[in-house]
Chains A and B, each alone.
Chain A
Amino acid sequence: MPKISIKAEIIFHLFALDITNSMIASVIVFLLTVFIALYFKKQSTLSRKSNFYYLIKFFVKSIYDLFHSVLGDKTNVFFPILFAFFFYILLENWFGLLPGVGSLLIKVKEGHEEVFVPLLRGNNADLNTTLALAIISVFSIQFFSIKYLGIKKYLHKFFNFSDPISFFVGILDILSEFSKILSFAFRLFGNIFAGEVLLTIVAFLVPVLASFPFIGLEIFVGFVQALVFSMLTAVFLSGAIAEHH
């Protein structure tokens, strides 16, 4: 049975930076995302469009309608960042399920002994990635909150001295902003990492065909988690930019 490691393995060192296998995968997924976005933009100006264009357009349209039910008339402002979250996380999750990711091994030196580590690693199965996404999400919520409410009203949400109850509610609100980061990060990491462990263990219990339904499950889980991440960001955004009473 292969060794399951909870942290990403270091492949090589670039100056002082440790390049891990999940970083290599994230670069590939990032380039793929940019490429698809540019392709979509180019196709949208042509008069004869490819089938792939309509497939992505169908995706974008259904997700747009979903966000429209949450954000209402402000959807156009926030849709780019929310769809970017959705699409990037979706591609990351599905990239981790491709054959070869996690199973192609490479020999690296660790201390004095040589060990075999996977060359690529499902990106969200690394806590650093999900933590980065969570921090971007929560900080952009604070940014838009300040932009729409103004700094005075924004601070008033957290520091309210009018009576003791709202003072303590304000303190709880500050804590809940930080727990949002943790909950975003752990939800995504837990789901995807648990999926990887499940697939590995099932493949070693029953070698033939048994992993097939689990792959289907993981494709679904990857989609739902990408949707949940962007949807929760949308819900928190709509709460943060609403006037407080």
Chain B
Amino acid sequence: MKILAVAISIAVGAVAPAYAIGMIGTKAVEALGRNPEAESAIRTTMILALAFAEAIAIYALVVALILKFA
């Protein structure tokens, strides 16, 4: 039962961030295609946004790890 809780918490928690990261990547590539000179600015902003999106997956991961090992 505990293992199931661990699996569900990370599986459900990873769905939304995966979608968000895909979205960020798409939009960044789109922006790059329109305006290739702004590459460095786009890259910096993209990595920041990625970190925010990824942090949510990490929260789910932390919960899963705490359930598993503590």
**Residues of A in contact with B (beta carbons under 8 Å apart):** 4-7, 66, 69-70, 183, 186-187, 189-191, 193-194, 197, 224, 227-228, 231-232, 235
A-side contacts of B62, CB under 8 Å: 186, 189-190, 193
- Please tell me the size bucket of the interface on B: 10 to 19
Q: Are B69 and A186 in contact (CB under 8 A)?
A: no
Q: Are A231 and B44 in contact (CB under 8 A)?
A: yes
Q: Are B58 and A190 in contact (CB under 8 A)?
A: yes
Q: Are A183 and B44 in contact (CB under 8 A)?
A: no
What is the interface of chain A mostly: helix, strand, loop, or mixed?
A: helix
A93 to chain B minimum Cβ distance, whole angstroms, is 15
In the complex, which of the residues B41, B48, B69 contacts A231, with contact meaning CB atoms closer than 8 Å?
B48
B69 to chain A minimum Cβ distance, whole angstroms, is 5
Q: Are A187 and B40 in contact (CB under 8 A)?
A: no
What is the interface of chain B mostly: helix, strand, loop, or mixed?
A: helix
> Complex Cα distance A197/B65, Å?
9
Q: Are B58 and A187 in contact (CB under 8 A)?
A: yes
Q: Are A4 and B58 in contact (CB under 8 A)?
A: no
B46 to chain A minimum Cβ distance, whole angstroms, is 12
Q: Are B61 and A194 in contact (CB under 8 A)?
A: yes
> Complex Cα distance A212/B7, Å?
26
Q: Are B65 and A194 in contact (CB under 8 A)?
A: yes
Q: Are A194 and B69 in contact (CB under 8 A)?
A: no
Specify the chain A residue showing the minimal Cβ separation from B59: A186
B-side contacts of A7, CB under 8 Å: 70
A-side contacts of B44, CB under 8 Å: 66, 69-70, 231
B-side contacts of A5, CB under 8 Å: 69
Q: Are B59 and A190 in contact (CB under 8 A)?
A: yes
Chain A CB within 10 Å, residue with most, of B40, B47, B55: B55
Q: Are A4 and B48 in contact (CB under 8 A)?
A: no
A9 to chain B minimum Cβ distance, whole angstroms, is 13
Q: Are B58 and A191 in contact (CB under 8 A)?
A: yes
Given contacts A187-B58, A190-B61, A228-B48, contact A6 B41 (CB under 8 A): no
Interface residues of B in 18-70 (CB under 8 A from A): 40-41, 44, 47-48, 51, 54-55, 58-59, 61-62, 65-66, 69-70
Specify the chain B residue showing the minimal Cβ separation from A184: B55
B-side contacts of A231, CB under 8 Å: 44, 47-48
> Complex Cα distance A6/B6, Å?
15
Q: Are B58 and A6 in contact (CB under 8 A)?
A: no
> Complex Cα distance A4/B51, Å?
26
Q: Are B55 and A69 in contact (CB under 8 A)?
A: no
B47 to chain A minimum Cβ distance, whole angstroms, is 7
B5 to chain A minimum Cβ distance, whole angstroms, is 16
Q: Are A232 and B48 in contact (CB under 8 A)?
A: yes
> Complex Cα distance A194/B65, Å?
8
A201 to chain B minimum Cβ distance, whole angstroms, is 11
Specify the chain B residue showing the minimal Cβ separation from A187: B55
